Structure 1
Amino acid sequence: MTAAVFSHSGPWTETEYLALGETRDRVELFDGSLHVTPAPTPRHQHISRRLGNALETGAEAVGLHVLEAVNVRLQPGRIPIPDLVVTGEIDFDELVVDGTAVRLVCEISSPSNAATDKVLKMHYYATARIPWYLLAEQDTGTLRLHRLDGSHYVEHAVAKPGDVLRLAEPIAAEIRPEGLLPGR
């Protein structure tokens, strides 16, 4: 992948981006530019797995799916890879999940990507009209649930370690933030 990225000139098209195939790095496409980050830390992945597990039962109960680290097309040429998504019906063999199928998007923020998750991606997800955005902050263990209100997100609920985050939409779930964190 490295040679293809460095030898490329000009903006990236969606076709060129998808032709990169699977990589060890997370490579996202934002309006002709690639955003490349290394594979997540074990802490990040532990939180992601536990968060996905916490959402799974509620999703299955209403016919939705929980997916981890998939390409989501928010609009042509804008394809992030959220940490988790809850979707309606999709084609499980397609390279990209259409953003219109996403009911809830989850990002796990770390100090190195906090601005991307709290500003850029939040804006892009709102523009794509994804109804719910859940941000898990690795450094504090805080969960912040946002709901779409018009063209932007508003904070709907916050849970810190010791609290419980209760979701009623798009699925029913109760999440204890401290249960997501690895033992210290």
Structure 2
Amino acid sequence: METVPAFAHGDRLTRRDLESITDERRRYELVDGTLLVSPSPRPLHQRVVARVLAALTPGCPAECEVLPAPVDVVLDEHTVLIPDVVIGRRADFTERALVGVPVLAVEVVSPSSRHIDRYLKPATLARAGCPHYWVIDPKAPSMSWFRLDGDAYTAVGEVFDDELAEIGQPYALTMRPSDLVSDY
């Protein structure tokens, strides 16, 4: 039986604490030592993740790798995130995680993760120095992409439905939100 260990109330959790959790039915992340728990993703969410992964992989530079969740992104001992899709430098991947700042983090919004994906994760990734962040909302459907400007993200573009997203960084890519969610 998979379990979540009991942690002392008020303690700031660490990467080691996170690794002691054996429950694979949920996603566990840490932000500044605080545990975030998300339910397993639904089929629409995973469809979008698969299509984003397929779109990003062909153009990915050789020194980087594109991977879907669950891949731990270790920003420090108290902050471990799991973006839905992440691009990292190959040199930063270990056997267990991406240790360091990703090149791009992509989040697909779920009803339970809306606030986390739109506010908490981008603030945390910006503070760490992640140069690119995308948010895809399958319900709209929409896609927004951001570039790090100082210590915060600046919106670069946003498209809805059949509008074409023409993204230049971290490398050239075009996609439509409607293509990410269609059940064709």
Same fold, TM exceeding 0.5? yes
Tell me if the contact between 1:66 and 1:86 (Cα under 8 Å) persists in the aligned partners.
yes
Q: Which amino acid aligns with 1:154?
A: T
Gaps of 5+ in 1: none
Give the TM-score of the pair, scaled to structure 2.
Answer: 0.90
Secondary structure of 2:40's aligned partner: coil
| Identity rate, percent | 30
Secondary structure of 2:174's aligned partner: strand
Secondary structure of 1:9's aligned partner: coil
Distance of 1:64 and 1:22 partners within structure 2: 30
Q: CA RMSD in A?
A: 1.9
Change (3 A) 1:170 1:22: farther
Distance of 2:127 and 2:148 partners within structure 1: 10
Q: Which amino acid aligns with 2:179?
A: G
Gaps of 5+ in 2: none
Q: Say whether residues 1:9 and 2:11 are aligned partners.
A: no
Give the TM-score of the pair, scaled to structure 1.
Answer: 0.90
Which 4+ stretches in 1 moved above 3 angstroms? Answer: 1-5, 90-93
Q: Which amino acid aligns with 2:148?
A: L
The superposition leaves residues 74-113 of structure 1 with CA deviations (integer Å, 9 ceiling, x where unpaired) of 222100111001111146552221233x111100012321
Q: Say whether residues 1:53 and 2:54 are aligned partners.
A: yes
Tell me if the contact between 1:106 and 1:133 (Cα under 8 Å) persists in the aligned partners.
yes
Tell me if the contact between 1:108 and 1:136 (Cα under 8 Å) persists in the aligned partners.
yes
Partner in structure 1 of residue 34 of structure 2: 33
Kindly tell me the number of residue pairs found equivalent between the two proteins: 181
Change (3 A) 1:4 1:181: closer
Change (3 A) 1:113 1:85: same
Quick check: which one's helix share is greater?
1
1:45-124 equivalence runs, <5 A? 45-59=46-60, 61-69=61-69, 70-90=71-91, 93-100=94-101, 102-124=102-124
Partner in structure 1 of residue 126 of structure 2: 126
Distance of 2:63 and 2:33 partners within structure 1: 35
1:142-153 equivalence runs, <5 A? 142-153=142-153
